[in-house]
Structure 1
Amino acid sequence: MNIVFIHQNMPGQYKHLAARLAEDPANKVVFITKRNDRDIPNVRRLVYRPSRQANEATHFYLRSTEDAVLHGQGVVRLLMGLRAEGFVPDIIVGHPGWGETLFVKDVFPAAPYLNYCEFFYRSQGQDVGFDPTVPVNPDVALRLRMRSTPLLLALEACDRGIAPTEWQRSTHPAHFQSKIEVIHDGIDTARLRGDPQARVTLPDGTVLTREDEVVTYAVRNLEPYRGFPSFMRALPRILEARSNARVLVVGGDEVSYGSPPAKDKTWREVMLTEVPVDPARVHFLGHLPYDQYLAALRVSRAHVYLTYPFVLSWSMVESMSLGCVVIGSDTAPVSEVIRHGENGLLVDFFSPSAIADQVIAVLKEPAAFAPLGLAARETVVERFELTRCLTRQIDLIRAMAGR
């Protein structure tokens, strides 16, 4: 098969899928992206750049749409180059979030298009308006409707879609949901398993093992969308109740979702001003190389994962695969996977005291809660195991391509 992947941040959700397809010498795999620093064996990488940025004079509601058009144009130029070479895709697989797939059907109208249905923006009932401290003014709601323009056009144009979870599928317009299969990207459960001998050496030289009272919190960036303020407000109670507890905080200071705080500060700086903590016990580790991130989770006794009603992080499912006891927010993306008292614990997203109480309980009686970690791993093996997910994805791709 001739396969074209499109994702600005190669490999994105296609890390395992593109690599698996490229292992077959009968396949020719092309990856269109903005990244010029990543490669996948046997995959031809083509890099595009939008010709310019969206104009500041463009209407406030339409800037994201103009930006999407510019991204789509950049991809079109590369697709037309492939067509001029005689390369005709049997299938195009792409993420619509930045507008890159807007015009794939205009270049290759006969090629099936498999759309990645990660999330559909709405002004009510999901992430926007979830936090009562963040007001939603009319401009936000109206701009958000226009932000979904490339997503809606992709849903109309695509032949099939993939969503990683049932809840993420449910965010899309009902009219198009019959097109969307729920297939997770997949978790390498053979690699992501617990290790009783795991050790982590902190920057100050302290070595932590499974015998220590380690609390972990791991996200891409420390921000409200992932419950960072609630987590920080829970720490004083945890640290007071458990004098030997150490807290490992993994994540950067950028903003992935939502808005940055005022006055040119990071959310870490804002929360440390509100909640000063002992740096000898609370360790902000920033972004970690993947193996070091896994090592931190492997020594965790209690792992906290909080999120708005938004995209479910890989990190939560990875922590479950590693056998962590997860204290998760009782929000739709999490409660789809975690059943309270069976394979994890659910708490009120906005209740630092509830978060703290659950963490303290797990730290105090690790043996009593250990079955939750075992059940968490079983859940991931049953629902998200990599080989099974890849088989389903590739079967769908072959069916769409008529193979």
Structure 2
Amino acid sequence: MNILFIHQNFPGQFKHLAPALVAQGHQCVALTLRVQEPTQWQGVQVLPYKIQRKQGGGMHPWLQDLDTKVIRAESCMLAALDLKKRGFMPDVIVAHPGWGEAMFLRDVWPDARIGLYYELYYQAEAGDIGFDPEFPNPAGPFDPLRLRLKNLNNALHYPLGDLGISPTRYQASTFPQKYQDRIEVIHDGINTKQAAPSAAASLKVSDTLTLTRADEVVSFVNRNLEPYRGYHVFMRALPQLLKQRPNAQVVIVGGDGHSYGAAAPKGTTWKQIFIDEVRPQISDADWARVHFVGKLPYNEFLSLLQLTRVHIYLTYPFVLSWSLLETMSTGAAIVASDTAPVREVIAHDQTGRLVDFFDQEALVSEVCTLLEDETLRDRLGAAARALINADYDLATVCLPRQLEWIAQLAKKKPGGTEL
């Protein structure tokens, strides 16, 4: 088959699926913003598309999100038309619709089967919006209206998709029922052979300190250090944690920007805002045991997970982080927020410990309990790894199911449904 991937940051969620399809003998092409010139990646022909116009000014702010997505959709469509002129006719198109790119591809190739990666449907209630009262909704009481317009991108893609895929049950559940009826829940997959326990793991965190499993390490990981992933809650718990655990070394992974939610006020970062808030409560000696290591290369990131004694994971009701599943795969003991996406993989006192997202005292208490009890840590960590092996292993579970999903998609009658 001819298979076309659409993803603004290809390979993104398709980094295992696309090469596997190449290995099966399919011709795979990708359109993306990530490259400037045509290139090859693991047998996939990767082609750039370029943004063709600037966002218009003077529009209502609730429409700016859709405007950005339509601009990307038009730009991707023009690249697709050029690809069609050169003779490429995809049997299957696999797209992440989150940035709008696939919006007009049915108009280019009406006979292609289209599979969509359903990541999240924005919710006015019971989701991330309004979850944290410290950070009010962007549009106040009118936020449900803003979100309704933000979901227009999902609505415009719905009739295009012949089959959908979503990585977790929680993420699939955010979509209306008519979407869920066509969604298969299949995770992107965890390489459990790579993300595995290691007694020899070590990580250099400064010129004078290399941590090993002999150290009492507590780890916290965000892509970017920000409230959506509980950075503020973690930092506010840090002074008490350091006092109660005088030998603990705290390693904090994450960038200075923001990935989700609002950016920090101009001229600062969420990282620095909460450092400034808690630093007066922490002695210089204790602060020396706190290590901000930025964004780590993947091998160093895995080393941290392999040597940590307790890993802390906090999140709003939102997309579940790969890092949590990778941590579970390494057999680490975990304290996590008792939020809907987390409960899908962490059962309290079975595969980890759960605490209320906002309860800093409970967070410190659970971390200290685990640091004191090696037997408990080992039990929880072993159960966590067993769950990932059974349900999320890339080679034996997820990738075979993704390939079967492609096979099912290829058998669908193209054309989607009407709005």
Rounded to whole Å, the distance in 2 between the matches of 1:236 and 1:59 is 44
Residue 371 of structure 1 corresponds to: 379
Task: Report the equivalent of 1:337.
Answer: 345
Q: 1:230 aligns with which of 229, 233, 245?
A: 233
- Superposition pairs of residues 192-231 of structure 1, within 5 angstroms: 192-231=195-234
Structure 1 pair 115–105 and aligned structure 2 pair: CA distance change class (3 A)? same
CA distances 1:238-261 after superposition (whole Å, capped 9, x unpaired): 111111100000000111001122
State the aligned residue count.
402
The alpha-carbon deviation at position 23 of structure 1 amounts to 2.1
Alpha-carbon deviations, 1:273-292, whole Å to 9, x = none? 11114442010011111111
2:29 is aligned with 1:49 = no
Higher mean alpha-carbon deviation, 144-153 vs 209-218, is at 144-153
Q: Which runs of 5+ in 2 are unaligned?
A: 413-419
For residue 267 of structure 2, what is the aligned residue in structure 1? 264
| Aligned equivalents of 2:70, 2:203: Cα separation in 1 | 46
Other-structure match for 2:30 = 31
Answer yes or no: is the 8 Å Cα contact 2:131–2:316 preserved in 1. Answer: yes
Per the alignment, in what secondary structure is the counterpart of residue 275 of structure 1? helix
Cα-to-partner distance string for 1:360-383 (whole Å, 9 max, x where unaligned): 111112222211000000110111
One-letter amino acid of the counterpart of residue 228, structure 2: Y
Q: What's 2:403 paired with? A: 394
Amino acid at match of 2:110: P
Q: 1:11 offset after TM fit, Å?
A: 1.2
CA deviations over 1:221-275 (Å, ceiling 9, x no partner): 0000000000111111111111110000000011100112224211111001111
- Structure 1 range deviating more: 15-24 or 293-302: 15-24
Alignment of 1:358 with 2:366, yes or no, is: yes
Q: Percent identity?
A: 44
CA deviation map 1:341-364 (0-9, x unaligned): 001110110011111111111111
Pair 1:90 & 2:91 matched: yes
Query: Residues of 2 paired with 1:145 and 1:91: CA distance?
Result: 30
Task: Return the alpha-carbon distance in structure 1 between the equivalents of residues 370 and 54 of structure 2.
Answer: 49
How far 1:139 sits from its partner (Å)?
A: 4.2
**Matched AA of 1:347:** V
2:291 matches 1:283: yes
| Counterpart pick for 2:312 among 304, 311, 332 | 304
- Counterpart residue identity of residue 95, structure 1: H
Q: TM-score, normalised by structure 2?
A: 0.93
How far, CA to CA, are the matches of 2:120 and 2:186 in structure 1? 14
Q: Distance in 2 between matches of 1:151 and 1:217?
A: 33
Find the counterpart in structure 2 of residue 4 from structure 1: 4
CA distance in 2, matches of 1:300, 1:314: 17
Which structure has more relative contact order (CA 8 Å, sep 6+)? It is: 2
Uncovered stretches (5+) of structure 1, i.e. residues with no partner: none
* Greater displacement, 36-45 / 267-276: 36-45
8 A Cα contact 2:332 2:377, kept in partner: no
> What secondary structure is seen at the aligned counterpart in 1 of 2:16?
helix
Over aligned residues, Cα RMSD in angstroms? Answer: 1.4
Q: Secondary structure at the match of 2:378?
A: helix
Amino acid at match of 2:258: V
Structure 2 counterpart of 1:17, one-letter code = L
Equivalent residue, structure 2, for 1:78: 79
1:39, distance to aligned residue in structure 2 (A): 5.3
Q: Return closer, same or farther for 1:117/1:188 CA change in 2, 3 Å cut-off.
A: same
Residues 39-94 of structure 1, C-alpha deviations (whole Å, 9 max, x = no match): 52111111112212321212211111111111011111121122112211110001
Secondary structure of the corresponding residue to residue 261 of structure 1: coil
What corresponds to 1:59 in structure 2?
Answer: 60
Distance 1:352 1:145 in 2: 34
Deviation at 1:95, TM superposition (A): 0.4
Secondary structure of residue in 1 paired with 2:148: helix
What does residue 173 of structure 2 align with?
Answer: 170
Aligned residue identity for 1:55: G
**What aligned pairs does 1:100-119 form with structure 2 within 5 A after superposition?**
100-119=101-120
